[in-house]
Each structure stands twice: as C-alpha cells, then as structure tokens.
Structure 1
C-alpha cells in the first residue's frame, strides 16, 4: 500500500499561516517582552523562509527517498508546534489583564519563550540537513516562489466546488454594473491563480465578453507596464505606444462599448492614487465588465473599485490534501 505523501502546497500554506501570525507583533511583545520578541520573531521568520524554500524540491524527491519524506514530516510537525505556540501567545495577549504595575514576566511566559526557541532550533536543524539530503532551494530572493503566471490551465480544480459557485454568482451579479471588481483573497499557495485560470478558461462563463486579458502583477505594480501588457493581450495594433497617455488611449479605444474580463494576478499594491490612474480607461466598457484580482491582501479590492466583491479562499483541509496527494501519485 502506498504511503501518504506530504503535499508541498499544503506545507507552503502552513508556513504562510505561521508567517502571518508573526505579524501580531504587539501580542508577542506583550507576552515575551519587546527585545526578546524582536529577536525570536526574526529568527523564526528566517528559519521558516530558509526551510520553506526547500519544500518544493523535497516534495519531488520524497517519492523515492524515504529520508526526504521523513524530513517533510518533521517540518510539518515543527510548523504545527510553531502555529500552536503563536496561537497561545495571541490568546494570552487578548485575555491577560494589565495592572498599574504593568505585566510581570512569569514562569509560564519563560516556558513559552523556551518552546519557541526549541522550535526555531528544530527548523534550523532541518534546513542544515539540505546538503546531506540533496535538497536545493527553489528561491533565495523571496519566500513567494511566485513565477509570472499564465492564463493556461495547469490542471483540474479539486475540492473547490463551493468556491466555483460563489465566483459564478458574483460574475452574474455584475451584469447591472458598468465596471465591477472581484478579488480572490487568500494566503500564498492556496490556489487563487488556479481558480482564476478555471474561470478565465470556462467557455460557457465567458460567453458575451468581447475582450479578455490576463496579466501577472506581483509586488512591483508598474501601471505603465501593466497597461501596456493589457493592450498587447487584446489588440494587434501596438504601434506608437511611447507614452502613458498613448497607452491609456489605446486601451480606452479597445474597451469602449465592449464587455471585458481582465484578470490581474498576484496583486499587492493598495496605493489609491496608482489605482485611480490605472483604472481610467476601464470606465468606458458596457455593463458586466469585470476585473478579477488575486491577492493576499484583503484591502486591495475595496481601494480599486466601489462595486466590489471579495471571496476568501481558505486552505483545503490537511486530510483532503493528503488524500489528493495519494490519488495523484496513483494516477
């Protein structure tokens, strides 16, 4: 009987969850003290990024290397421990009363600090084993591992039937508005891009749209380059695009009196002024025109457009991920 494979996508999601918890700096400061928490948070963040960059390679090599599979299991257990510790810290910070004398650092707090230090060492030790196991880092520049996306479907969408129905409803509800924005919000690796690909390539749902475009944004939101890429997607005439004004004018002409569906994948910017300038050509479409965003930041869509619908994409359950890994390994 085939053993259960540890899914790299699941571990990436779990790492993102722990990293998100580390953003609760006030809670950590309150429980373990500012100076100590600053050092611990930085050490844990670094350890998570270093070990996390090995996950994709380990996922492939676990198929014929038992030691790598065991490495992934150990990393998963360490991540669960870290997540549980940070959850306890946040809960304590939310419920702890502060006296006039302030808050006394007690034995329970010291124990939490010791536990965090131990889990940091566990993750650091796992990262140090990369040479012995032959593991290579997929990315050292950032934790995202995000490569420029494509609209082409890479496979079926498993376990997302309810999410698909929710997006279809949002798309249909947009038919009374000239421009609507839908954002798929979720942590890294949860499947936002895959779901957007499914929608973009669903011929039945795309009936009636005159123009379609897919552009990957990522962390550097260059509105000139992004606008130019959209024009290239929907027009064969890309001559004389030598200024932002000419690029926007070309896009306006292509979208005027048309119903369009534009996907902006992996959006990070919440700069209101940038978005205001960027969206100017999109105001000339007909009812039902839609911009679909995928983003980790829930406030992006509301800044982009008034008629806005947000859909949170939650991680699949661990049991489902394991079952899916076994299923795919047998097909």
Structure 2
C-alpha cells in the first residue's frame, strides 16, 4: 500500500519528462499548439505540492483520494504520450525519417489541438482522450487548493549512496545488546547437553524468535568456536514459502559446493543424505514461516545421516513455527533493545566521521528520534543510515516531526521508521523501487535479466538521465 501511495511523485516526474521532451516542444511550436501544451504544464504547479500531499495523505483521507485521482490521471497522460512515440516510430519504419517528419507534424496537432479546429484534422480517438485529460487536469488542479498544500515542503536532498555488495561477514562492533543471548546459545551448541537433547532425528533444533534474530544467528554462525566445532556449516534463507524441494537443493549445493539442476525431491534428498553422512553439521534456516508439521517432517529426513551433535538454528517471527520445529525445551526469545542500546546503534550509523561540533548540535534531535524507534534494531539502523550524510538541524527535525510517525502500525506491516527511509528516496528511484516490489519476497534478481526488463520498461534510460543508473549496480 505504501509503495503505491508514495510512488505518485515518481510517476508524475516521468510524465513531465515526456511532456517537455525537446522533439515534442519543437513540433508543438511548428504547429502553433503551444497554448494547449501550456495547459498541460499546470502539472508543474501540482508537482510542487506533491511532497506535502504525500505526507498529509497518511492522516487525511481526502488528500489520499486526491492523490489516487492524480495517479490515475498521470497514467492516462503517459499512455497518450506513448501513443505519440509509437505512431512516430511507426511512420519512420514505413516511410523513413524524411517522410515521418510530416506525418508526426500531423499527429501532434491531432493530439494537442482539440481546441484548434483550424489546424490539421485530428484523430478523433486521441483527440477525445486529450480533451478528457485536459478537463480532469483542470479539475484536479483546482482541488489542490482545498487542502492548503504547501510548495517545497520536505524535498530534502537525501542522496542515495553507492552501496557495497553484501557478504556473509558481519561487523560485531555494530551489534548492541545481544552478548548474553549470543553466549548462551553458543554454549548450548558446544555442550554435551546439546548432543544428548537431540530429538527423534539425532539433530537439535534451536528456535530464535523476536527482534534482530537474523543478525544474532549470523554472528553465531561466524563465531570461531562454532566454525571449529562443526564439520560443515550451511546458511539458507527460507522466507515466506516453505518449499521443501528448493530448501533441500540450497542445502545440498552448500554442502557439495556445486550447483544442481535437479528438481526431483527424492534424488536431491538422497544426494544430501550422502553429503551429510557422518558429518557434524550446523544449519541455519533463516526467516521460517512454515506452520505445517508435514513440511518440516519431509525436509528433515536426510538430516538423520549427520553425526551426533549436529545442530539447526531456526529464526522465525512466529512462536507456532518454533513449537513445530524445536527439539529443545524452549525457544530463545529476543526482546527489543534498551533505549541506551538503541541509541548506541543509531549513533554508530548516524554520527560516523561527523564533525564533533555538528554532532553535538544534532545529538538532542537524534535522541528524540531514537525514542520513536521503540527499541527496534532495524528502525534505529535504517534511520541512522538515512541521516548520516545530513549535517543540518532542519533535515533532522524534518524526520523527527514527520507525520509518518503517527501512522498506526496495525494498519500496515511497515514500521514508520522503515517507511521514512523509503519516503526520502529520490523520487526518480521510487519508480524503480515500486517495480521491484511486485516480485516475491527474497526473489533472486539476476543482474542482466533485471537490467533487460527495466530497459524494456524505459526505467534505465530514465535513471541514466539523472546519473543514478550506475549506483543501482
């Protein structure tokens, strides 16, 4: 829902680019249709208040409905502009560049000159669309005054920095408040008790439930004591869909260090059984949502081949999942961070390499932002990363006082702090983000494939103009 709402400005920006493209302006001038084109340029005045509108929509339903109408209108305008391009390209294919010029000259007044009957006879279908859009645009522009929207609100230049590729390593200096939990679980993994308390399949399963569970599992996974205690370690991100075949395949590829094209579960499980035979293995199944015992029973069949003392850690948000999978007496529950731990985590990301005098001015604002994070590690880290390049109090106060904080969590799965990170993305990247959001959670993107699809949808050419394309890769 949030992506659909906040992406209005990015859609609008793309329409404006098409509308003021140099060839279109040239044709408009040559055919004396600048007056109609100027009517459409009222979009610029609407665009000026979009930031304020996108903030107010969270609390004011009337503003949200206005933005919905505006988004629908923007899509209609984009469709018409695409028809221009299609017809122009078609004429070039049929008649060649020289002949296409006159054809396009006829097309442009056709579309824009509904109010100019003395111009070349226009195509009725496109002409009707133009008339309808122009009327709706005028009505939408008038309605914006009802909401007392302000121009230039927000618009903070939060630039997207080039992102390093992620690795399996984790910086333990960036982790706060989990030392006790880490030591307790590691001591259990290495204990004689763990070897005895191993359920019916010879493998102990330790669920971790709560906030920061993936990070905790990661630092346990990378601990030198754990590494030396087990013959092999495997990490698999499971996520929403508990695909027994897919998970088995991922585990097998990690154990054998080679890929397989097989999709036959029986074949995969027999190969995995052979790969684990006699080995003391440590497996992390991250972000598990499965609540069906039969799926877990099917997955764990090859694990019996492992040596005594093999261990599995399962991270999950759901205690029911933990109950289904665990063999230990209880799950390890992670609570939210204390205020001090949350403050240290926020400061680690927000104040790195910042001038001491500037930091002293921003720290009081930062402390108020930390309280709004409510001890959630991801919220503190996300907002700290968002603000670390901003060194003026206005930018920090803009985040602190943003109306998004008032949005009730129960109406959405998205935390206000995380939505703020999205909200302050440059508008030209929101469109790219919105496109990526249609894919399933944890979908594996192939760089070349995604690049080709985006290019087909004109997203790359659009990003290249703003210098952001290189940063995406």
Task: State the match for 1:224 in structure 2.
Answer: 245
C-alpha separation between the residues in 1 aligned to 2:316 and 2:275? 26
Task: State the match for 1:111 in structure 2.
Answer: none
Deviation at 1:284? 1.7
Task: State the match for 2:185 in structure 1.
Answer: 167
Match of 2:218 among 193, 197, 206: 197
215-224 or 308-317: bigger deviation: 308-317
TM-score by length of 2: 0.38
Counterparts of 1:1-331 in structure 2 under 5 Å? 121=59, 132-134=153-155, 151-153=168-170, 155-156=172-173, 157-171=175-189, 172=191, 173-176=193-196, 177=198, 178-186=202-210, 190-236=211-257, 238-239=259-260, 241-307=262-328, 309-331=330-352
C-alpha separation between the residues in 1 aligned to 2:240 and 2:187? 29
TM-score by length of 1: 0.54
Deviation at 1:319? 3.6
Higher normalized helix content (fraction of residues): 2
Work out whether residues 301 and 308 of structure 1, in 8 Å CA contact, stay in contact via their aligned partners in 2: no
Deviation at 1:306? 3.3
Work out whether residues 288 and 316 of structure 2, in 8 Å CA contact, stay in contact via their aligned partners in 1: yes
C-alpha separation between the residues in 1 aligned to 2:317 and 2:167? 18
Structure 2: gaps (5+ residues): 8-51, 68-148, 158-165, 353-473
SS at match of 2:229: coil
C-alpha separation between the residues in 1 aligned to 2:260 and 2:349? 46
Deviation at 1:279? 0.6
Q: In the superposition, relative to structure 1, how do residues 308 and 281 fare at CA in structure 2: closer, same or farther (>3 Å)?
A: farther
Deviation at 1:222? 0.7
**Bigger-Rg structure (1/2):** 2
* TM-superposition CA deviations, 1:54-108 (whole Å, max 9, x none): 9xxxxxxxxxxxxxxxx9xxx9xxxxxxxxxxxxxxxxxxxxxxxxxxxxxxxxx
Work out whether residues 179 and 307 of structure 1, in 8 Å CA contact, stay in contact via their aligned partners in 2: no
Aligned length, in residue pairs = 206
Deviation at 1:329? 3.1
Q: In the superposition, relative to structure 1, how do residues 323 and 150 fare at CA in structure 2: closer, same or farther (>3 Å)?
A: closer
C-alpha separation between the residues in 2 aligned to 1:212 and 1:326? 33
Deviation at 1:205? 2.2
Deviation at 1:236? 3.6
User: Pairwise CA RMSD of aligned residues?
Assistant: 3.6
Runs of 4+ in 1 over 4 A off after TM superposition: 122-126, 237-240
C-alpha separation between the residues in 2 aligned to 1:209 and 1:183? 19
Q: In the superposition, relative to structure 1, how do residues 161 and 121 fare at CA in structure 2: closer, same or farther (>3 Å)?
A: same
Deviation at 1:133? 3.0
Deviation at 1:229? 0.5
C-alpha separation between the residues in 2 aligned to 1:282 and 1:205? 19
Q: In the superposition, relative to structure 1, how do residues 228 and 154 fare at CA in structure 2: closer, same or farther (>3 Å)?
A: farther
Q: Which has the higher contact order (CA 8 A, sep 6+)?
A: 1
Deviation at 1:260? 0.3
217-226 or 149-158: bigger deviation: 149-158
